[in-house]
Amino acid sequence: MESTRNRLIELLETKNDEFVSGQELSNELRKSRTAIWKHMKELEKDGYIIDAVPRKGYRIREFPKKLSSNTIQWGLHTKWLGSKIIHKKSVPSTQNIAHQLAQEGAQHGTVIIADEQTAGRGRLERKWHSMSEQGIWMSLLLRPKIPPIQAPQLTLLAATVLADILLKKVNVKAYIKWPNDIILNDKKIAGILTEMQAEQDQIQYIVLGIGINVNQSHHEFPEELKSIATSLKIETNKTHNIRDLIQSILTTFEQTYDHYLQNGFHDIKMKWESFGYKLGETVNITTPNHTWNTTILGIESDGGLLIKNPDGKTEKIYSAEIYNEGNTR
């Protein structure tokens, strides 16, 4: 049924605001005109405004402004990612829901999306400010057949997907700040949180969280974030369609993930380094025990950051904070 509605929406979209007769839709979809009418009523329940005129047919006058499982799934061209989409108005954290579903046996590719998170979190349990209907707050449930040691590669993969989408769909060049932040004009616009349940040699599941600031205005950020966070609306001076961005992310993620499983990490590494934040530049590295200036060289296949210290020695690190040189904020 969902594939029928996907095709129905596609047929109406391609007509560019022209009417499509019920008979034409019936012929294309091989459904009765009564069935077509019932599908139209279901679309209206999800916020589509549809004109139905006798002897003319149907046209979509307005697309839904609010998200739902159906509006995200209809028009989503993926094979397995998002085959099950769970949409919530407000939750503490999509990560928590994804963990619960995973433990209950939810399928690979399940996607949890919320309009708002009241206790969203990022790396190191930092709070993620998730405003209602102003951003993308979602978690992907994955069951990859890779050894646990390779799990950090999925964070790096997801980062390349987000940077690629922002470049191709929004026309802004964002950078990937190791290990999991997306930076635009030296401010954070998106983050990734990868959490894993695994045995010694086998991953049971991975929950990959994605948060993107989309339509917030500057004044809507808390005071403590105004100097370090931004949104697509702030950077482009226009409002963006969150549904379209979600669908683009899911489609590109699936393609990239499948390519990675078939071909390995090399292409992901190359793309990551094409977006690498401060790559080749001197930055400030801070760990719990030490702070020093160093040069970022790139990433390794195990997810580690490759740096060159002032003494000329190359080092690989797995946990640290990166700041501009001389800035330890």
Starting at the edge strand found earlier in the chain, the sheet holding 181-184 runs: 85-91, 111-117, 135-142, 203-213, 187-198, 181-184, 175-177
Q: Cis omega (within 30 of 0) on the bond before 152?
A: no
Q: Dig out the tokens for 223 from the structure.
A: 């005071």
Please check if 117 is assigned to a binding site: yes
Q: What is the mean pLDDT of residues 230-246?
A: 95
Q: How confident is the model at residue 73 (pLDDT cuts 50, 70, 90)?
A: confident
Buried b (16+ CB within 10 A) or exposed e, 122-153: bbeeeebbbbeebbbbbbbbbebebebebbbb
**Statement: residue 202 has pLDDT above 60:** yes
Q: Which of 47-61, 139-153, 314-328 has the lowest mean pLDDT?
A: 314-328
Contact 127, 121 (CB under 8 A): yes
Q: What is the mean pLDDT of residues 71-95?
A: 92
In whole angstroms, give the CA distance from residue 313 to residue 300.
16
Task: Look at the block and give the residue holding tokens 């963990």.
Answer: 99
Task: Look at the block and give the residue holding tokens 């086998």.
Answer: 202
Q: How confident is the model at residue 124 (pLDDT cuts 50, 70, 90)?
A: very low
Buried b (16+ CB within 10 A) or exposed e, 35-49: ebeebbeebeebebe
Q: How confident is the model at residue 80 (pLDDT cuts 50, 70, 90)?
A: very high
Q: What are phi and psi of 53, to 5 degrees?
A: -120, 125
Q: What is the pLDDT of residue 120?
A: 67
Find how far residue 35's CA is from the centre of its chain.
34
More confident residue, 162 or 118: 162
Please check if 59 is assigned to a binding site: no
> Residues of the chain with pLDDT > 70: what percent?
94
Averaged confidence pLDDT in the chain: 90
Please check if 121 is assigned to a binding site: yes
Which amino acid is present at 164?
D
**Statement: residue 320 has pLDDT above 70:** yes
Q: What is the pLDDT of residue 303?
A: 86
Q: What is the pLDDT of residue 121?
A: 63
pTM of the full structure: 0.86
Please check if 123 is assigned to a binding site: yes
- CA dihedral in degrees (253, 256, 262, 266; nearest 10)? -130
Residue 172 CB burial class (10 angstroms; 0-12, 13-18, ≥19): middle
More confident residue, 74 or 116: 116
Q: What is the mean pLDDT of residues 15-37?
A: 88
Please check if 188 is assigned to a binding site: yes
Which amino acid is present at 294?
T
**Statement: residue 327 has pLDDT above 70:** no
Q: What is the mean pLDDT of residues 3-17?
A: 78
Q: Which of 4-8, 79-83, 312-316 has the lowest mean pLDDT?
A: 4-8
Find how far residue 93's CA is from the centre of its chain.
15
Q: How confident is the model at residue 127 (pLDDT cuts 50, 70, 90)?
A: low
Q: How far is CA 54 from CA 28, 44, 48, 205, in A?
A: 19, 18, 19, 52
Q: What is the pLDDT of residue 10?
A: 81
Q: What is the pLDDT of residue 328?
A: 42
pLDDT tens digits along 37-66: 998 898 888 888 999 999 899 998 888 878
Q: Which of 26-40, 116-130, 164-178, 237-251 has the lowest mean pLDDT?
A: 116-130
Q: Checking DSSP bridges between strand 85-91 and strand 111-117, what pairing results, if any? A: parallel
